[in-house]
């Protein structure tokens, strides 16, 4: 089977999550410096069978695209060009960072670890992925 890779894009850091091969469970993968994102994706896709890449689509409360979309649109175009054999999906990510922070707080992780924004990025990517998989019936 193949995996689904999810991206919670950030200007400085990007959280990544991946499904299990059966596409049942989403799990945190990594947080990478955004400048290294494309290299990381290339290496990951070389070592694993990925058929879908889900990119979080940030929107404002009124549904308008957020400021970050100006970075995400070119990323999606690059991904589509680099991986014509993969489905590239934009998926609504509203509230994922808030949900991620709440999830981390409720998990009992210590205060110092909760300050690590990289954890929030990975958890947000995991929430995006799980939500996407739930929406398509996986």
The rounded percent of the chain whose pLDDT value lies above 90 is: 60
Residue written as token pair 């649109």: 73
Q: What is the pLDDT of residues 33-82, one digit of tens each?
A: 999 999 999 999 999 999 999 999 987 767 777 788 999 999 999 999 99
User: In the predicted model, what is the mean pLDDT of the chain?
Assistant: 86
Phi/psi at 111 (5° precision): -60, -40
Token pair belonging to 64:
């308008």
Q: Residue 38: which H helix or E strand, with range? A: helix 37-47
Asked if 131 and 28 count as a contact pair (C-beta separation under 8 A), the reply is no
Report how far residue 137's alpha carbon sits from residue 31's, in angstroms, rounded to the nearest whole number: 27
Token pair belonging to 36:
């290294």
Q: What is the pLDDT of residues 84-129, one digit of tens each?
A: 999 999 998 765 555 655 665 665 665 555 455 677 788 889 989 9
Report how far residue 13's alpha carbon sits from residue 16's, in angstroms, rounded to the nearest whole number: 10
What pLDDT shows up at residue 138? 58
Domains of the chain are 3-136 (3.30.420.140)
Instruction: Write down the pTM of the prediction.
Output: 0.84
The closest alpha carbon to 53, from 6, 99, 115, belongs to 6
């Amino acid at each position: 089977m193949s995996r689904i890779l999810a991206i919670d894009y950030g200007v400085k850091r990007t959280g990544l999550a991946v499904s299990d091969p059966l596409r049942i469970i989403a799990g945190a993968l990594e947080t990478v410096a955004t400048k290294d994102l494309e290299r990381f994706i290339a290496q990951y896709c070389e070592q694993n069978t990925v058929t879908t890449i889900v990119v979080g689509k940030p929107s404002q409360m009124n549904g308008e695209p957020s400021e970050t979309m100006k970075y995400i649109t070119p990323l999606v175009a690059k991904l589509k060009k680099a991986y014509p054999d993969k489905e590239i999906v934009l998926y609504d990510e509203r509230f994922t960072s808030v949900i991620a922070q709440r999830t981390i707080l409720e998990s009992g992780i210590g205060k110092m670890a909760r300050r690590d924004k990289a954890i929030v990025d990975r958890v947000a990517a995991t929430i995006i992925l799980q939500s996407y998989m739930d929406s398509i019936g996986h």
